[in-house]
Amino acid sequence: MVQWYKNKKNKVKDAYEKGSKYCQMLSPHIQKDLTKACAEEVTAVIMDEIRGRHFSVLIDESRDVSIKEQMAMILRFVNDEGKIVERFLGLKHIEKCTSAALKEALVNLLSSHKLSISMLREQGYDSASNMRGEFNGVQRLIRDINPYAFYVHCFAHQLQLVVVAVSISTPAIADFFNYVPLIVNTVGASCMRKDALVAKYHDVLLEKLENGEITTGRGMNQESSLARPGDTRWSSHLKTLLRILVMWEAILEVLEVVKKDSIKPTCNGGAFGLIGKMESFDFVFIMHLMIELLSITDSLSKALQRKDQDIVEAMNMIMDVRDCLQDMRDNGWEPLLKSVKLFCDKNDIKVPNMDKEVNARGTSARRRQKIAPHEE
């Protein structure tokens, strides 16, 4: 930053080059002063943009690296050109995450920048009860002061919450997503394993190209690593599952290497368990099922995050996705089972007899009842 400013101002450049050689601006105190000065200048520009306009606030709280709870605030308003803009206003350290404490921090942060809460027209928070609670949440406390500060919950976030809640309500799927991060972390635990994964995936691609199983083309077959799924972004789960599906053979080969060559018993034992889990019919079936479901909801999630989206179009898209999910429920079993069987046959995975009764899993052996596999 100093070098950039020296190139802009000859007076500053002369002071550095002709002045004391010890003046390097490297002191932490000086750097903090410079950062604070920059923040004040940027904030002044933001305040000048607003100039008494109505505005909205987007707020979230999270811990920083020093394990302190911080509240981040973003202002949203319409500028002179009629465009919606968002400006990061700042961080506020909060000692408590109660509704009252968050509300006080919000009011104080606005007051410190001479923004009147009477000009607030919309509040946007996550779904935590202390933020959006109907009776005691921050949004309710703010509306007690300003009844025009309406609360809007992000449509995309609502969709993610629905997908998460429905998915983890089924024990088998919740267990499946417990294993996915373990697979990703084990395969990508070191640079050597990542290199081995890329090399083996490259060999698999060449073999498939020679056999005519896949075709070449610009932008095709570019996956070369496994993406870690995020806890709150279920679109990242789809990306991870798609890469596991495409890199299936390479992942299993790397896990085989880890099982054979690892010195620590926990590593080779973990790889042994992951191989057995991946090569089970349950894992393959749930993987295909979730890819199909998340593909439907992912397109809606991306659409809901578009800046030019309107409420009528969004509601129509929600209805379309609901119809797609209902059609999958009514007519999707046979196509899904067929694709799963093809995958299992190709990778030598045993397919159970769907009409034969087996012991129900997840219960005590003394209480087990006989059910067909498709009833699980």
Q: How many domains is the chain partitioned into structurally?
A: 2
The whole-number pLDDT of residue 246 equals 85
- Hey, what amino acid is at 293? L
**Alpha helix positions (H), the chain:** 2-8, 10-18, 28-50, 99-112, 129-132, 138-145, 155-168, 171-187, 191-211, 234-246, 248-261, 265-278, 281-304, 311-331, 333-346
pLDDT per residue as tens digits for the range 237-258: 888 888 888 888 888 888 888 8
pTM for this one?
Answer: 0.68
Q: Domain containing 87: what range?
A: 54-153
Asked if residue 136 and residue 167 are part of one domain, the reply reads no
Domain with residue 79: its CATH number is 3.30.420.40
Contact status, residue 46 vs residue 110, Cβ threshold 8 Å: no
292 plus 200 within the same structural domain: yes
- pLDDT score, position 208: 65
The residues with which 277 forms a beta bridge, in sequence order, are none
**Do 180 and 92 share a structural domain?**
no
Residues 249 and 106 in one domain: no
Residues in the chain predicted with pLDDT less than 50, given as ranges, are: 134-135, 218-221
Q: Residue 38 domain-assigned?
A: no
Q: Are residues 199 and 71 in the same domain?
A: no
Instruction: Give the angle subtended at the CA of 98 by the CAs of 96 and 103, to the nearest 5°.
Output: 100
From the CB of residue 81, how many other CB atoms can be counted at a distance below 10 Å? 6
Nearest to 179 by CA among 80, 278, 307, 308: 278
Residue 187 lies in a domain: yes
Q: State whether 302 and 200 are in the same domain.
A: yes
Residue where a domain stops, chosen among 119, 153, 187: 153
Is 40 part of a structural domain of the chain?
Answer: no
Residue 177 located in a structural domain: yes
Q: What is the pLDDT of residue 281?
A: 92
Q: What is the pLDDT of residue 209?
A: 62
> In the prediction, which pLDDT does 161 show?
78
CA-angle at 186, arms to 274 and 234, nearest 5°: 85
Q: Is 155 left (phi over 0), alpha (psi -120 to 50) or beta?
A: alpha
Note whether 268 and 358 are same-domain residues: yes
Q: Which of 143, 55, 127, 138 is nearest to 104 (CA)?
A: 138
pLDDT at 221: 47
pLDDT at residue number 174:
87
160: left (phi over 0), alpha (psi -120 to 50) or beta: alpha
Sign of CA dihedral 233, 239, 245, 247: negative
The single-letter DSSP state of residue 225 is S
Do 326 and 352 lie in one domain? The reply is yes
- Asked if 210 and 137 sit in the same domain, the reply is no
Q: How far apart are CA 261 and CA 122, in angstroms?
A: 58
* 142 and 111 within one domain: yes
Do both 226 and 95 map to the same domain? no
